[in-house]
Amino acid sequence: MAGDLVDGATVLSRALLDQGVEYVFGIVGYPVIEVGVAMQVAGLKFIAMRNEQAATYAAQAIGYLTGRPGVVLVVSGPGMLHTIGGLANATINAWPVIVIGGSSDEDQEGTGAFQEWPQVESARLYTKFSARPPSIEHIPFFVEKAVRISTHGRPGACYLDINGDMVNGTVEESSVRFFPEVGPPPKTYAEPSQVTETLEALSQAKNPLVIVGKGAAYARAEKEVRAFLDQTGLPFLPTPMGKGVMPDDHNQCVIAARSRALLQADVILLLGARLNWMLHFGRPPRFGEETKFIQIDICHEELGNNINSDNVIGLAGDLQAVTQQLIDAGKTSSARGGWSYPSNTPWWQSLRSKVKDNEEKSKILASDMSVPMNYYAAISKVQAMIPKDSLIVSEGANTMDIGRTILLNHSPRHRLDAGTFGTMGVGMGFNIAAALLARDRWPNKRVVCLEGDSAFGFSGMEVETICRYNLPVLIVVINNNGIGFGTEKETWEATPPEERPHSLMPTALMPDARYDQVMTAFGGVGFHVTTPAELEDALRLSLTKHANQPVLINVMVSPQAQRKQQDFDWLTRKSKL
């Protein structure tokens, strides 16, 4: 007598649920419509997006913010290929995400089937793991493996391919083996001798510095990092998404003196930060010739990357565990006896002087209330009025870079931006993920999304998704009519349309575009502001009267507004390495 039958869509949905998956993002169509329905029946939350790339950004933000991978469900061919940018972004950022793509029926492979494409092979370059289960019975095995691989070691993206005939095909339920939820990665510790060597190097340094990366935030190491910095008294600066592991307004934070700190430090401890382009590869002219680096990283291959191995102490291990080793060793070692770095050294005096100088320069720019506004004035208004513990999403050129210096974070994992891959277009997906978690898990948490006008254009149609689910997000578009720097309205109007492809700068966008009307088109609230007073009024209404609605404030700033003069070119060039 045959047992109960179960179809592939149901098996997949239950396997995801068993692994603790809560959110699935995507766009359904043939052959995965039934999968989306089965997921909802199983109890998964399915968020229907407008673009597969934005869906993948949303799912990976869930992975970063929760430590468990979000999932993406897409159709075959073009649908799956649209996730490639998101897969690459997750893997480069080291965030867990799983993309599940439908594919043509197995017996149609190689025949020119509808949207047929070698999807497993296409995904392999951008993921840690890419595979197709050979049968319905094997689906839970591959789901468990994808969850484990995406979260263990250095996190990243995984891809699973489900062919069309597997979705509706059935097997006896008793033949399917389901797997228990994958636990957190095991804690790995550094060699004790390297811990001792690290403390010796820091205690002997004249100009020590700690850099706190987003790896520390992902590792949930904020308690240990704070205890270590409190114990040692060392100056620190965060990477963009390392902000909040330690509060930005902490008296040891020297981010306002970043260039001086990097250039003049003689020993630098990296807590979950990589020496890639964001830290100028650890090389001159941003760093000194003889700077010694101490790296703590979960990935062994990262240790010593880009720098002379003679100048590196590499501690491979879980950042939370290794930082606790440093704390314990600092307390118990008789040689150091609870050593801490004095607060009255010439190094501290130099850093504090530079912090004060740069903060004064920013205050002067922010105090300029002329119209059209500059970035500093506009973003400072946002900082002054949003709740202190807001979860901030940001992307753009000047908008994101200046926002990093003005918008403060006081808690870990409260900033999402373009990240290591420098990806524009992530904002709306990140925004949706953050808003879902705020609504479902973090009552009264405010999500504030600061967008450049160009960045908003990549995925602006996702405001329909935001309105459909009534996600109470505050989106502030800093609109300068272009990419980096914009075009004046007078120039635009004086240029006939047929001449614009030849004469308008490639950075130019349409002047005074009404992005606020995109939001109101779908039932949200939009404001168009041109003065500081109008911006204050719009922010006040957004945070009170419209606090439970989606809001977009379109803020017009000068097309010629720029960031303050930098000591170095922001992108270290090859000729300088």
The DSSP line for 482-520 is: EESEE--HHHHHHS-GGGHHHHS-TTB--TT--HHHHHH
Give the pLDDT band of residue 135 (cuts 50, 70, 90): very high
- Among 25-34, 41-50, 101-110, 268-277, the range scoring the smallest mean pLDDT is 101-110
- Return the structure tokens found at 263: 């250039």
Give the C-alpha separation, 53 to 47, whole Å: 14
Residues 287 and 413 in one domain: no
| Any domain includes 434 | yes
| Any domain includes 184 | no
- Among 236-240, 428-432, 455-459, 572-576, the range scoring the smallest mean pLDDT is 572-576
pLDDT for 59-75, tens place per residue? Answer: 999 999 999 999 999 99
Give the pLDDT band of residue 310 (cuts 50, 70, 90): confident
- Provide the CATH number for the domain around residue 236: 3.40.50.1220
Number of H helices, E strands in the chain: 23, 21
| Any domain includes 182 | no
Give the C-alpha separation, 44 to 301, whole Å: 36
Give the pLDDT band of residue 334 (cuts 50, 70, 90): very low
- Provide the CATH number for the domain around residue 47: 3.40.50.970
Residues 201 and 317 in one domain: yes
What value does the mean pLDDT take over residues 441-462? Answer: 95
| Any domain includes 503 | yes
DSSP conformational letter for 53: H
Residues 249 and 211 in one domain: yes
Flag whether pLDDT at 1 surpasses 80.
Answer: no
pLDDT for 171-201, tens place per residue? Answer: 999 999 999 999 999 999 999 999 999 999 9
Give the C-alpha separation, 541 to 469, whole Å: 21
Q: Number of folded domains in the chain?
A: 3
Give the C-alpha separation, 38 to 504, whole Å: 50
Cβ contacts of 149 within 8 Å, gap of 6 or more: 128, 129, 156, 158
| % of the chain with per-residue pLDDT over 70 | 96
Give the pLDDT band of residue 564 (cuts 50, 70, 90): low
Give the C-alpha separation, 81 to 261, whole Å: 42
Give the C-alpha separation, 247 to 228, whole Å: 14
DSSP notation for 248-308? TT-TTB-GGGHHHHHHH-SEEEEES---SGGGGGG-TTTS-TT-EEEEEES-GGGTTTTS-
Residue with tokens 């850093």: 351
Contact 395, 418 (CB under 8 A): yes
Three-state DSSP at 235 gives coil
pLDDT for 213-262, tens place per residue? Answer: 999 999 999 999 999 999 999 999 999 999 999 999 999 999 999 999 99
What value does the mean pLDDT take over residues 341-347? Answer: 95
pLDDT of residue 464: 98
Cβ contacts of 321 within 8 Å, gap of 6 or more: 187, 188, 189
Average pLDDT taken over every residue of the chain: 94
Residues 549 and 405 in one domain: yes
Residues in the chain: 577
Query: Degrees (nearest 5) of the Cα angle 413, 418, 422?
Result: 140
Q: Cα separations (Å) of 486 from 370, 429, 506, 527, 529?
A: 18, 25, 10, 21, 17
pLDDT of residue 140: 98
Residues 19 and 139 in one domain: yes
Flag whether pLDDT at 575 surpasses 90.
Answer: no
Flag whether pLDDT at 543 surpasses 60.
Answer: yes
Residue 558: closest CA among 456, 499, 463, 488: 488
Residues 201 and 165 in one domain: no
What value does the mean pLDDT take over residues 448-461? Answer: 97
Three-state DSSP at 59 gives helix
Residues 412 and 466 in one domain: yes
Residues 65 and 152 in one domain: yes
Residues 441 and 378 in one domain: yes
Flag whether pLDDT at 577 surpasses 80.
Answer: no
Residues 323 and 241 in one domain: yes
Q: Which residue range forms the structural domain that includes residue 113? A: 5-175
- Among 156-170, 226-240, 408-422, 559-573, the range scoring the smallest mean pLDDT is 559-573
pLDDT of residue 262: 97
Residues 534 and 398 in one domain: yes
Residues 27 and 101 in one domain: yes
| Any domain includes 185 | no
